[in-house]
Structure 1
Amino acid sequence: MSASAMSPDSVAANRHVGAVRATLLCYRVLIRQIVSVGRLAALGALGAIMIVVGWVVGVAGADRDFGSSAMLRDGAGYADAFGLIVIVPIISLVFAAASLGDARDDGTLVYLWLRPMGRAPVAVAAAAVSMTVALPLCVAPTVLGGWLASGRVAGSGDLAVGILTAAALGTAAYSCLFVLLGLLFRKAVLWGIAYVLLWEGLAVGLGDFAARLSLRGYARSVLAHLADVDLGFDPNRLATSIIVLACVSVVSLGLAALRLRHLNVD
Structure 2
Amino acid sequence: MSSSATAAATAPVRRRVGTVRATTLCYRVVIRQIVSAGRIAALGALGALMIVVGWVVGNSSNRGANSSAGMIFDGASYADGFGLIVIVPIVSLVFAAASLGDARDDGTLVYLWLRPIGRAPLAVAAALASATVSLPLCVVPTVFGGWLATDFVAGSGRAALGSLAAAALGTVAYSCLFVLLGLLFRKAVLWGIAYILLWEGLAVGLGDFAERLSLRGYARSMLSQIAEVDLGFTTYSVGISVIVLAATSAASLALATARLRNINVD
Q: What's the % identity of the aligned pairs?
A: 74
The residue number in structure 2 matching 1:227 is 227
State whether residues 58 and 151 of structure 1, in contact with CA within 8 Å, keep that contact through their aligned partners in structure 2.
Answer: yes
1:41–1:249 distance in 2 versus 1, CA, 3 Å: same
The RMSD of aligned alpha carbons is: 1.4
The residue number in structure 1 matching 2:210 is 210
The residue number in structure 2 matching 1:258 is 258
* Residue 19 (structure 1) aligned with residue 15 (structure 2): no
Please give the alpha-carbon distance, in whole angstroms, between the structure 1 residues aligned to 2:118 and 2:125. 12
Please report the TM-score for the alignment, with normalisation by the length of structure 2.
0.92
The residue number in structure 2 matching 1:236 is 236
The residue number in structure 1 matching 2:149 is 149
Partner AA of 1:257 in structure 2:
T
Deviation at 1:101, TM superposition (A): 1.6
Aligned length: 254
Aligned pairs for 1:189-204 (under 5 A) are 189-204=189-204
Paired residue secondary structure (1:209):
helix
State whether residues 208 and 233 of structure 1, in contact with CA within 8 Å, keep that contact through their aligned partners in structure 2.
Answer: no
Partner AA of 1:264 in structure 2:
N
Paired residue secondary structure (1:152):
coil
Structure 1 residue runs without a partner (length 5+): 1-12
Please give the alpha-carbon distance, in whole angstroms, between the structure 2 residues aligned to 1:265 and 1:64. 63
The residue number in structure 2 matching 1:91 is 91
* Residue 33 (structure 1) aligned with residue 55 (structure 2): no
Please give the alpha-carbon distance, in whole angstroms, between the structure 1 residues aligned to 2:200 and 2:111. 36
The residue number in structure 1 matching 2:183 is 183
State whether residues 15 and 117 of structure 1, in contact with CA within 8 Å, keep that contact through their aligned partners in structure 2.
Answer: no
**Deviation readout 1:8-67 (Å, 9 max, x if unpaired):** xxxxx9551111010001011111100000000000011011111111111222366311
With 56-65 and 175-184 compared, the bigger mean Cα shift is at 56-65
Structure 2 residue runs without a partner (length 5+): 1-12
Deviation at 1:192, TM superposition (A): 0.2
Please give the alpha-carbon distance, in whole angstroms, between the structure 1 residues aligned to 2:229 and 2:265. 49
Aligned pairs for 1:169-180 (under 5 A) are 169-180=169-180
State whether residues 203 and 214 of structure 1, in contact with CA within 8 Å, keep that contact through their aligned partners in structure 2.
Answer: no
Deviation at 1:233, TM superposition (A): 2.2
Please give the alpha-carbon distance, in whole angstroms, between the structure 1 residues aligned to 2:53 and 2:248. 31
Partner AA of 1:28 in structure 2:
R
The residue number in structure 2 matching 1:101 is 101
The residue number in structure 1 matching 2:129 is 129
Please report the TM-score for the alignment, with normalisation by the length of structure 1.
0.92
Partner AA of 1:38 in structure 2:
G
State whether residues 138 and 167 of structure 1, in contact with CA within 8 Å, keep that contact through their aligned partners in structure 2.
Answer: yes
Paired residue secondary structure (1:154):
coil
Paired residue secondary structure (1:62):
coil
Please give the alpha-carbon distance, in whole angstroms, between the structure 1 residues aligned to 2:24 and 2:144. 32
Bigger Rg, which one: 2
Paired residue secondary structure (1:157):
helix
1:199–1:264 distance in 2 versus 1, CA, 3 Å: same
State whether residues 50 and 142 of structure 1, in contact with CA within 8 Å, keep that contact through their aligned partners in structure 2.
Answer: yes
